[in-house]
Amino acid sequence: METITVEINVERLTKRREQLLTTLRHVESEQKEVEQNTEWIDRAAYESRVALLDELKRGYLTEIKQIDKALERIEKHQYGSCAACHDPIDLRRLQAAPEAEYCGACAKFREGFEQQSEA
């Protein structure tokens, strides 16, 4: 893995993590505001808003975990190698998704397996 690519991706991952934390704080603030507001006219609107904020929070936390795992792989000099097959992850894939843990083939296989498990 080229040092320049790793350095660029560390910067991108770190910046994205900071953005996510800022957004997460905003979502948590919004959640508190929604929960403290007792004047909701429509219970369904309230529940919908709470569900939306919960889903956003889950998504942001998941992305932060992925970024943390990528930064950990960088520290361990394992970045850029697929966690499943250990082949190099295509540089274009890492440019598009610097948190990528799997090569394209393994990621596609895992997604298919997960979809099959959900059915």
Q: How many domains does the chain have?
A: 1
Domain CATH for 28: 1.20.120.910
User: Residue 1: its pLDDT value, please?
Assistant: 60
Nearest by Cα to 31 from 20, 46, 42, 43:
46
Cα distance between residue 57 and residue 35, in whole Å: 15
User: Residue 39, CB half-sphere, CA atoms under 13 Å: how many?
Assistant: 1
**Other Cβ atoms closer than 10 A to 115:** 9
pLDDT digits (tens, 9 = 90+) for 1-40: 667 688 999 999 999 999 999 999 999 999 999 888 878 7
pTM score, whole prediction = 0.83
Q: Print burial letters for 76-89: b (CB count within 10 Å at least 16), e (below 16).
A: eeebbbbbeeeeeb
pLDDT digits (tens, 9 = 90+) for 79-113: 999 999 999 999 999 999 999 999 999 999 998 87
Residue 109 burial by Cβ neighbours in a 10 Å radius (0-12, 13-18, 19+): middle
Range of the domain at 106: 3-118
Contact in structure between 92 and 3 (CB atoms under 8 Å)? no
